[in-house]
Amino acid sequence: MLILPGFTEFIEKHEITASRLNAMGLDCLVIDWPGQGLSGRLSPKYPHVAHCRDFSDHLKALQVAAGEAGFLDGSMPLFLFGHSMGGHLALRVSRILSCPIAGAVLSAPMMMPPVLPPGLIRGASGMLCRLGLAGYPVRGRHGKPRDDQFYALNPLTRSPKGYRVQVDWWNRNPALKTTGPSFGWVNAAYTSCLATTGNAKWLAGVQCPVQVHLADHEVIVSRLHAYRMTARLPRAE
């Protein structure tokens, strides 16, 4: 199983999930996306900002890592698990891998980022990128750590134990932390989503079985697009 992390996540955060899947007899591979975790940062001036210019770089990194690890040789059934941004990328990679995909499980998939309308956000962020601000942090978030203490109305999880997993890893290794997106990442995300997971015709080409899990009060990704667009997947539940 390929485990595809979400935005700002890193390999270590998925240790518990991978261990449980291992106990079930599944081999797992988790990667650090370009600009996240310990894969190297792409905005030298703001190293704690998650930055990229095109999600195709993420897909190339995934294919190289999975190929080197022997996950793409067709010798075993291949499953995908993607959370948030990883859910978006799981659908994208399912259409370009040469080996068959046995199935995909998506947790709160980013069919579209939450700020709407998407066309306006893509246009505005693209203009800022052309002005040379692609690597700059959105809303001045550089250097501002996310809350280390669990609070009831946080947008991530209702589980105090689950909330602590990421924080504990940050404390062990501060280099794992990213504090938010760059304008380049925002533009890349909206460009990718509008062309793929926000496009009903494109989704019709996803042929593998897909199981989708979405919280009733999801706010990190667009809940509206998640409901509408996952319904367009030919083999989804």
pTM above 0.95, yes or no: no
CB 38 within 8 A of CB 22: no
Bigger pLDDT: 53 vs 159: 53
Mean pLDDT of 190-196: 99
Mean pLDDT of 92-97: 97
Mean pLDDT of 144-171: 78
Report the distance separating Cα 52 and Cα 227, nearest Å: 27
Q: Point out the least confidently predicted range of 22-36, 156-170, 203-217.
A: 156-170
CB 3 within 8 A of CB 17: yes
Structure token digits, residue 131: 């002005």
Report helix, strand or coil for 78.
Answer: coil
**28-51 per-position pLDDT tens digit:** 999 999 999 999 899 989 999 999
Bigger pLDDT: 158 vs 207: 207
Report helix, strand or coil for 148.
Answer: coil
Homologous superfamily of domain range 2-230: Alpha/Beta hydrolase fold, catalytic domain (3.40.50.1820)
Instruction: Write down the pLDDT at residue 116.
Output: 92
Structure token digits, residue 47: 């190293």
Instruction: Write down the pLDDT at residue 110.
Output: 98
Mean pLDDT of 131-144: 76
Q: Parse the chain into domains and list their residue ranges.
A: 2-230
pLDDT exceeds cutoff 80 at 153: no
Report the distance separating Cα 43 and Cα 62, nearest Å: 20
Dihedral (CA of 96, 98, 103, 107) sign: negative
Structure token digits, residue 137: 């942090």
pLDDT exceeds cutoff 80 at 118: yes
